[in-house]
């Protein structure tokens, strides 16, 4: 098993006493100025350089303060009615916004807020709950959030809590194939499939989005069981016959066969592909199997799903048994960033091709924002009947504070330093401030094409975990959570790359010696 040594952890821990400045000295940038939510900085600046100050910090403070005031301990804030939302995804677990925000608060240097969040985790977060929990959601938000908080701060409490939670997820894997079911009762360990999933199937994006966190759970415990569970999933997916090399979204945990042939890089499929390339990167580029599976999957996606519209926009269609549905979801917009971070490690002659593809996808997603009245993008946009990058159905017009588009801006910025990505991030900030900020927090909107938006009354926890974190990183220096050292899980929780050369002599084995900050 790969080991992450204590030296490794210590060296990557944050110097929290110095809040990261998040100041941008970008001489090439065209527009300046912050409107609402302006963050006044005291950092010295050179007068001949046009500066921007990270706007995500005051947005985070505002979102957090309102959550704290009106919804403390609940999962999410309902900012219009000023109360907490519990929801049914976390099986009785509470405080999703707190756990999802720990690392964002910490990297932004919001120290008091972080301390209060930590204290809540220590004294209130209760893992012995009953109820219907999504294995996927609990993994990406709670396991991912606690792991990140531990790696960034070295605080033992996060390690203790995440190990307690990790054990509670294991019964979901007790199926004939070892492919976990989607829902688990954290108290009884009973698990079952989502009622809406065809024929008791499990969802690719759910059982395929456990790898990063589970490998780290094994790293922390020294217990290989977590890695074994996800390697078993990997093995089955690697072996099974794939239509045109594609991975359909539904698989039976009983038989290990595909249940139907719907393929998507958006909802139901998305983060499975993301975790292949990130597993490779997180293993310090040792996980050759993940690498091979990622590039083959990408090849199949390019041959079967990638399309060019008459207007020249590159998009990812969905595939239903060979028939294309010319629709791209907001969720699929993460793939600009994914293709960009994988550009360097494929065949060398394809590097530029992947960077171009990543840029084209990100451009299309930006167009979906640009073509709306609010300058925020719809849940899904289409490329048919003369439509390009626009939602045609009423039911696809909403925006729920999702991160995927700004996520790709952040990765594209880091890979290319083309100032247009910061410009686009800036536009997103202005649109969020104008249309999603309400008196007591941020809210999603029901129709991005309406000039007077109607709010959905939900401040999603991923807005604090992801959208604001990616915006903060977009306007920060590259060495803040450098991509050379960290990979982000699909909820934007940074996990350290596990170095191969971390030998026992360097204090690397057996496992991590956790120490306080």
Residue stretches of the annotated binding site for Ca(2+) = 490
- Of residues 198 through 257, those in contact with ligand DMJ by CB under 6 A are none
Contacts of 450 (CB under 8 A, 6+ apart): 373, 374
Q: State which residue has the least CB distance to ligand DMJ.
A: 490
Nearest distance from C-beta of residue 51 to ligand DMJ, angstroms:
31
Chain centroid to Cα 88, Å, comes to: 20
Residue 218 burial (CB < 10 Å; 0-12/13-18/19+)? Answer: buried
Interaction mask 394-413, ligand DMJ, x per CB under 6 A: --------xx----------
477 is known as an active-site residue: no
- Of residues 256 through 295, those in contact with ligand DMJ by CB under 6 A are 271
Interaction mask 463-482, ligand DMJ, x per CB under 6 A: ---x----------------
Contacts of 29 (CB under 8 A, 6+ apart): 50, 52, 419, 422, 423
Q: Cα–Cα distance between 433 and 62 in angstroms, integer?
A: 11
Q: Which of 100, 206, 270, 491 is catalytic?
A: 270
Nearest CA among 158, 157, 149 for reference residue 13: 149
137 is known as an active-site residue: yes
CA atoms within 13 A on the CB side of 407: 29
Interaction mask 314-343, ligand DMJ, x per CB under 6 A: -----------------x------------
Contact yes or no for 139/91 (Cβ under 8 A): no
Nearest distance from C-beta of residue 343 to ligand DMJ, angstroms:
21
Q: Which of 8, 76, 103, 137 is catalytic?
A: 137
Chain centroid to Cα 30, Å, comes to: 29
How many residues form the binding site for ligand DMJ (CB under 6 A)? Answer: 9
Contact yes or no for 238/304 (Cβ under 8 A): no
Interaction mask 136-155, ligand DMJ, x per CB under 6 A: ----x---------------
Asked whether position 490 contacts ligand DMJ by CB under 6 A, the answer is yes
Q: Which of 379, 407, 447, 491 is catalytic?
A: 379
Contacts of 337 (CB under 8 A, 6+ apart): 358, 362, 407, 408, 410, 411, 412
Asked whether position 94 contacts ligand DMJ by CB under 6 A, the answer is no
Give me the residues paired with residue 316 across strands.
Answer: 306
Asked whether position 491 contacts ligand DMJ by CB under 6 A, the answer is yes
- Of residues 35 through 64, those in contact with ligand DMJ by CB under 6 A are none
Residue with Cβ nearer ligand DMJ (291 or 402)? 402
Residue with Cβ nearer ligand DMJ (4 or 401)? 401
270 is known as an active-site residue: yes
Contact yes or no for 75/98 (Cβ under 8 A): no
Characterize the bridge pairing of strands 51-53 and 441-442: unpaired
Residue with Cβ nearer ligand DMJ (186 or 331)? 331
Among 151, 462, 470, 472, binds ligand DMJ (CB under 6 A): 462
Q: Cα–Cα distance between 55 and 23 in angstroms, integer?
A: 10
Residue with Cβ nearer ligand DMJ (53 or 146)? 146
Q: Which of 103, 404, 447, 466 is catalytic?
A: 404
Nearest distance from C-beta of residue 403 to ligand DMJ, angstroms:
6
Contact yes or no for 74/494 (Cβ under 8 A): no
Q: Is 382 left (phi over 0), alpha (psi -120 to 50) or beta?
A: beta
407 is known as an active-site residue: no
Q: Cα–Cα distance between 261 and 242 in angstroms, integer?
A: 10
Active site residues per annotation: 137, 270, 379, 404
The residues binding ligand DMJ (CB under 6 A) are 140, 271, 331, 402-403, 462, 466, 490-491
């Amino acid at each position: 098993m790969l080991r992450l040594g204590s030296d490794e952890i210590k060296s990557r821990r944050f110097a929290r006493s110095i809040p990261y400045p998040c100041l941008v000295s970008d001489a090439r940038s065209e527009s300046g100025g912050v409107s609402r939510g302006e963050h006044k900085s005291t950092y010295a600046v050179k007068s001949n350089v046009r500066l921007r100050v990270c706007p995500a910090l005051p947005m985070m403070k505002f979102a957090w303060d309102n959550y704290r005031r009106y919804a403390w301990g609940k999962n999410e804030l309902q900012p219009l009615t000023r109360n907490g939302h519990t929801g049914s995804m976390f099986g009785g677990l509470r405080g999703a916004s707190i756990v999802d925000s720990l690392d964002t608060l910490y990297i932004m240097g919001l120290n008091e807020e972080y301390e209060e969040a930590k204290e809540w985790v220590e004294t209130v977060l209760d893992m012995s709950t009953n109820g219907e929990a999504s294995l996927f959601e609990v993994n990406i938000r709670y396991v991912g959030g606690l792991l990140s908080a531990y790696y960034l701060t070295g605080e033992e409490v996060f390690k203790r809590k995440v190990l307690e939670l990790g054990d509670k997820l294991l019964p979901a894997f007790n199926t004939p194939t070892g492919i976990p079911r989607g829902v688990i009762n954290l108290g009884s360990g009973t698990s079952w499939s989502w009622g809406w999933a065809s024929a008791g199937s499990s969802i690719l994006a759910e059982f395929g989005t456990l790898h990063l966190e589970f490998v780290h759970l094994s790293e922390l415990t020294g217990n290989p069981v977590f890695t074994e569970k996800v390697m078993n999933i990997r093995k089955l997916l690697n072996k099974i016959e794939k239509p045109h090399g594609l991975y359909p979204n539904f698989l039976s945990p009983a038989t290990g066969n595909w249940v139907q042939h719907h393929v998507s890089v958006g909802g139901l499929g998305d983060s499975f592909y993301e975790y292949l390339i990130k597993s490779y990167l997180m293993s310090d580029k040792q996980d050759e199997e993940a690498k091979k599976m990622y590039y083959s999957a990408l090849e199949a996606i390019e041959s079967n799903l990638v399309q060019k519209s008459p207007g020249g926009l590159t998009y990812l269609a969905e595939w239903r048994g060979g028939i294309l549905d010319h629709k791209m979801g907001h969720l699929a917009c993460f793939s600009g960033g994914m293709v960009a971070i994988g550009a360097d490690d494929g065949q060398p002659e394809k590097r530029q091709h992947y960077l171009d593809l990543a840029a084209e996808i990100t451009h299309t997603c930006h167009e979906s924002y640009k073509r709306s009245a609010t300058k925020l993008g719809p849940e899904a946009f289409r490329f048919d009947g003369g439509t390009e990058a626009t939602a045609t159905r009423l039911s696809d017009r909403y925006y729920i504070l999702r991160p995927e588009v700004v996520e790709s801006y952040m990765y594209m910025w880091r890979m290319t330093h083309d100032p247009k990505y910061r410009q686009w991030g800036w536009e997103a900030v202005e649109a969020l401030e104008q249309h999603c900020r309400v008196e007591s927090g941020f809210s999603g909107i029901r129709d991005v094409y309406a000039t007077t938006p109607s709010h959905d009354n939900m401040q999603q926890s991923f807005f604090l975990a992801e959208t604001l974190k990616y915006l903060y990183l977009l306007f920060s220096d590259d060495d803040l959570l450098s991509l050379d050292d960290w990979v982000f899980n699909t909820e934007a929780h940074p996990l350290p790359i596990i170095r191969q050369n971390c030998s026992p002599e360097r204090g690397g084995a057996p496992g991590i010696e956790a120490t306080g900050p």
